[in-house]
Amino acid sequence: MANDVNTFVFPEVMRTPTRFRHSLSKYRITINKSCNNCGLCVELCPYGVYSIGLKRPKSSNDHLCLGFPCGSNEFYCVGRCPQKAINININPAFEILGDRRWSADLLASTWHMAETGKIPHQDLNYKTGNSGGGFDKLRFVYQERDIPDGPDDEISTAIELNRSGDSRPKVTIPIPLYLGGMSFGSVSIVTMLSRVRAAQALGTFCCTGEGGYPDELKPYDDHIITQVATGLFGVREETIKRVRIVEFKYAQGAKPGLGGHLLGDKVTPKVAEMREAVAGSALFSPFPFHSVYSVEDHKKHVDWIKEINPRALVSVKVSTPTDVDMVTVGSFYAGAHIVQLDGSYGGTGAAPDIAKKNIAMPIEYALPKVHRFLLEEGIRDKITIIASGGIRTAYDMAKAIAMGADGVCLGTADLVALECIRCHHCESGRGCARGIATTDDELTSLMELEWGTQRIINMYEAWRHQIIYILKRLGMKSVTELVGRFDVLVHLDYVKQEEIEGEFE
Amino acid sequence: MPVKYHIHTTTVPNRFQPITRSGVIAWEEGCLKCARCVKKDCVYKVYEKRGLDPRQMLDSLDSMCKDCFRCVQNCPNRLIQKGLNPTYKVLGDHYWTPEIISGLWFQAETGRIPVSGAGYGGSFSGPGFDAMWTDMSEIVRPTRDGIHGREYISTTVDLGRKVINLAFDAEGKIISPTPPLIEIPLPVIFDLLPWSPSRERITKVLLEGAKKLGTLAVVPETEWAYEMEPYLNEIILYLNNNPDHLDSTLLKGLRMVEIPDGENVIVQQKRLKERKPELVIAIRLCLNPKASERVLQLAGDGAEVIHLWADEYGLEQGDKPLFIKERLKEIHLSLVEAGIRDQITLIAGGGIAMAEHMAKLIICGADAVTVDIPLLVAMECRVCRRCKEGIACPVELDMVDPEWGSSRIRNLMAGWYNQLLEILGAMGLREVRRLRGEMGRAMFFEDLEKEIFAPMGKKGYVNG
Mean pLDDT of A271-299: 85
What are A106-155's pLDDT values in tens digits? 999 999 999 999 999 999 999 999 999 999 999 999 987 667 778 998 99
Residue A441 lies inside a defined structural domain of this protein: no
Q: Mark whether A215 and A75 lie in a shared domain.
A: no
Cβ of residue B66 closer than 8 Å to a chain A Cβ: yes
In a domain, A400, yes or no: yes
Q: Which of A32, A287, A354 to mutate to test the interface with B (most CBs of B within 10 A)?
A: A354
Q: What is the pLDDT of residues A259-273, one digit of tens each?
A: 777 777 777 888 888
Farthest CA pair distance, chain B: 97
| One domain, residues A84 and A159 | no
Rounded alpha-carbon distances, angstroms, from residue B158 to A345, B319, B428: 35, 34, 21
pLDDT of B1 strictly over 50: no
Q: Do residue A231 and residue A311 come from a single domain? A: yes
- Give me the mean pLDDT over the A417-425 stretch: 94
Q: Which of A134, A359, A484 sits opposite B423 (nearest CB)?
A: A359
Q: pTM of the full predicted structure?
A: 0.96
The radius of gyration of chain A from alpha carbons, rounded to an integer in Å, stands at 23
Q: Which of A261-265, A411-415, B128-132, B318-322 has the lowest mean pLDDT?
A: A261-265
On whether both A170 and A72 belong to a single domain, the answer is no
Task: Give me the pLDDT at residue A1, please.
Answer: 42
Site from B21, B36, B43, B352 to mutate, A interface, most A CB atoms within 10 angstroms: B43
Is A429's CB within 8 Å of B138's CB? no
With a cut of 70, say whether residue B464 has pLDDT above it. no
What average pLDDT is seen over chain A? 93
Per-residue model confidence (pLDDT) at position B306: 98
CATH number of the structural domain spanning residue A218: 3.20.20.70
**Span B157-448: which CATH code?**
3.20.20.70
Query: Which CATH number is correct for B22-90, 3.40.50, 3.10.20, 1.10.150, 3.30.70?
Result: 3.30.70
The answer to whether residue A504 is domain-embedded is no
Of A100, A426, A443, the CB nearest to B117: A426
Residues of B in contact with A375 (CB under 8 A): 464
Closest approach of chain A CAs to the CA of B446, in angstroms? 12
Q: Do B121 and A100 touch (CB under 8 A)?
A: yes
Mean pLDDT, residues B109-113: 96
B425 touches chain A (CB under 8 A): yes
Asked if A496 has any chain B CB less than 8 Å from its own CB, the reply is no
pLDDT confidence of residue A184: 82
* Consecutive H or E run containing A193: helix A189-201
Q: Which of A97, A327, A404 sits opposite B139 (nearest CB)?
A: A327
Confirm if B96 and B353 have CB atoms less than 8 A apart: yes
Confidence check: pLDDT of A426 > 50: yes
Please determine, for residue B285, whether its predicted confidence score (pLDDT) is greater than 90: yes
> Which of A39, A60, A90 is the last residue before a domain boundary?
A90
Q: Is the CB of residue B21 less than 8 Å away from at least one CB of chain A? A: yes
Q: Report the pLDDT averaged over residues B133-150.
A: 78
pLDDT band at A2 (very low <50, low <70, confident <90, very high): very low
- On whether both A219 and A312 belong to a single domain, the answer is yes
Torsion over CA: B51, B57, B61, B63 (sign): negative
Between A5 and B292, the more confident residue is B292
DSSP A404-465: T-SEEEESHHHHHHTT----S-TTSTTS-TTSSS---HHHHTTS-HHHHHHHHHHHHHHHHH
Minimum distance, in Å, between the CA of residue B83 and any CA atom of chain A: 5
Looking at the structure of chain A, the number of domains it has is 2
pLDDT at A277 over 80: yes
State the pLDDT at residue A231: 86
Is A11 domain-assigned? no
Is the per-residue pLDDT at B2 higher than 60? no
What confidence score (pLDDT) does residue B458 get?
A: 77
CA distances from B300 to A355, B162, B271, B303, B456 (A): 39, 13, 18, 7, 46
**Which A residues in the span 398-437 are in contact with B, Cβ-Cβ below 8 Å?**
404, 412, 415, 420-430, 433-434, 437
Q: How far is A1 from chain B (nearest CA, A)?
A: 34
pLDDT level of residue B52 (50, 70, 90 thresholds): confident
Residues A238, A218: Cα–Cα separation, whole Å: 12
Say if residue A311 is in the same domain as residue A178: yes
In terms of domains, do A170 and A308 share one? yes
Is B431:B127 a contact under the CB 8 Å cutoff? no
User: How much is the pLDDT for A372?
Assistant: 96
Length reported for chain B: 464
pLDDT above 60 for B231:
yes
- Say if B69 is an interface residue toward chain A (CB within 8 Å): yes
Q: Residues with Cβ < 8 Å from A41, sequence gap 6 or more?
A: A31, A49, A50, A57, A77, A80, A81, A86
Q: What are the start and end residues of each CATH 3.30.70 domain in chain B? A: 22-90
A191 with A210: CB under 8 angstroms?
A: no
Cα–Cα distance list, A491 to A496, A501, B132 (Å): 9, 14, 19
Phi, psi dihedral angles at B159 (to 5 degrees) = -110, 125
Name the domain boundary from A90, A109, A128: A90
In a domain, A51, yes or no: yes
Residue A360 within a domain = yes
Domain housing A32: 27-90
Q: Are B214 and B186 in contact (CB under 8 A)?
A: yes
Determine, yes or no, domain membership for A103. Answer: no
Look up the CATH number of the domain holding residue A70: 3.30.70.20
Q: Of all residues in chain A, what percent carry a pLDDT higher than 70?
A: 99
Q: Are residues A61 and A209 in the same domain?
A: no
Choose from A424, A444, A483 for mutation: most chain B CBs within 10 A. A424
Mean pLDDT value of segment A149-167: 94
pLDDT at residue B269 in the model: 97
Q: Alpha-carbon distance A240 to A224, whole Å?
A: 11
Query: Looking at residue B463, what is its pLDDT?
Result: 62
| Same structural domain, A349 and A245 | yes
Spatial separation of the C-alpha atoms in residues B172 and B192, rounded to whole Å: 44
Report chain B residues whose CB lies below 8 A from the CB of A101.
119-122
The predicted pLDDT at position B29 comes to 87
B43/A443 CB distance under 8 A: yes
Please check whether residue A15 touches B, CB under 8 A: no
Could you write out the DSSP letters of every residue in B368-397? Answer: EEEE-HHHHHHTT-----GGGGTPPPTT-G
Instruction: Tell me the nearest-neighbour CA distance from B460 into chain A, angstroms.
Output: 10
Q: Give the chain B residue whose CA is nearest to the CA of A293.
A: B140
The pLDDT > 90 percentage for chain A reads 77
Task: State pLDDT tens for residues A313-332.
Answer: 999 999 999 999 999 999 99
Res. A349 pLDDT band, cuts 50 70 90: confident
Asked whether the predicted pLDDT for residue A286 surpasses 90, the reply is no
Best probe of the A interface among B34, B80, B132, B138, by most A CBs < 10 A, is: B138
The set of residues, in sequence order, having a beta carbon less than 8 Å from that of A496 and lying 6+ positions away, is: none
Choose one of A53, A68, A90: the last residue of a domain. A90
Q: What is the mean pLDDT of residues B283-297?
A: 98
Whether A89 and chain B come into contact, CB under 8 Å, resolves to no
More confident residue, A501 or B232: B232
Q: Is residue A399 part of a domain?
A: yes
Question: Is A346 within 8 Å of B458 when comparing Cβ atoms?
Answer: no
